[in-house]
Amino acid sequence: MDLIVARNREDLVKARGGGEVALVPTMGALHEGHRSLMRLARSRADQVVVSVFVNPLQFGPNEDFSRYPRTFDSDLDVCRAEGVDVVFHPSVDDMYLPDRQVSLLAGRMGEIVEGESRPGHFDGVLTVVLKLFNLVQPSVAVFGQKDAQQLALIRRMVADLDVPVEIVGAPTVREHDGLALSSRNRYLSEDDRQVALALSRALRAGEAERRPGAIREAAREVLAAAGPRLDLDYVVLVDPATFSEVGEEHAGEAVLAVAARIGATRLIDNVILNLNPA
């Protein structure tokens, strides 16, 4: 079956088949990490729908909405290669009414860690994800673990609002040198890329420790050693469900998350740790 491109709601209704549907929401500029999401989606459903939509609601006034990479033709090639059934590629006007008034609020979890650095970002994420769920009507949706706070908030939204969609998280895919795959990596010069490797090195340094304080400190030391070209935003060790900071006596899973700006490019990364009881 040929790949169907649905450019509006009417096209999407016509393209939607029977059986279980898995949705992979993306903003395009697809890479191997997105391919891994598509493969996981294919294993879970009869039909795979990939959305390609650069969502203006999740960009702040000084962020990179206008220059965010838009590579739709090559994105279609990726989707064809992965056996995707439908690509949903709506316009902003088709997704949002001109007099739109109602949006979701991400609550307290949307205001901390990444949300503190990007006010309103998660409100925009949850609003577009819920709209995509309503339009595509999937039984399963697949998201990457690299955006760990986003994943946690989507799971919270589904639980709080009784949305009948199973949320599946997929492991972060990395380059051979450890850099987490991101559509924004293409902004990096070769020199910037070498500096950016400090993020994954910091996570590995944190993994080698056992206590929360030592984990944070080990990660910070690596990032500090990267020099002034790396502008650190945060290093946190948080509960994976709430993204609140964990204490020294925490046992079980925790997310070590980092964010930094290298040149004009802001990158995030994280790793899940399993902390032993005290």
Indicate the annotated binding residues: 27-34, 58, 144-147, 150, 173, 181-184
Strands 166-170 and 140-144 turn out to be: parallel
User: Do residues 225 and 218 lie in contact, with contact meaning Cβ atoms separated by under 8 Å?
Assistant: no
Q: Which long-range contacts (CB under 8 A, 24 or more apart) does 261-264 make?
A: 261/230, 261/231, 261/233, 262/188, 262/192, 262/195, 262/196, 262/229, 262/230, 262/231, 263/187, 263/188, 263/189, 263/192, 263/229, 264/187
**Residue 4 contacts by C-beta under 8 Å, 6 or more apart in sequence?**
11, 15, 85, 86, 87
89 is catalytic: no
User: Do residues 47 and 4 lie in contact, with contact meaning Cβ atoms separated by under 8 Å?
Assistant: no
**Positions at the binding site for beta-alanine:** 58
Instruction: Kindly provide the b/e burial profile for residues 99-135, where b requires at least 16 CB atoms within 10 angstroms of the residue's own CB.
Output: eeeebbebeebbbbbbbeebebbbbbbbbbbbbbbeb
User: Do residues 133 and 23 lie in contact, with contact meaning Cβ atoms separated by under 8 Å?
Assistant: yes
Our CA dihedral for 200, 202, 204, 209, rounded to 10 degrees, sits at: -160
Active-site position among 34, 89, 121, 250: 34
User: Do residues 215 and 85 lie in contact, with contact meaning Cβ atoms separated by under 8 Å?
Assistant: no
**Positions at the binding site for ATP:** 27-34, 144-147, 173, 181-184
H or E segment to which residue 212 belongs: helix 212-225
Query: How many residues belong to the chain?
Result: 278
Give the active site residues: 34
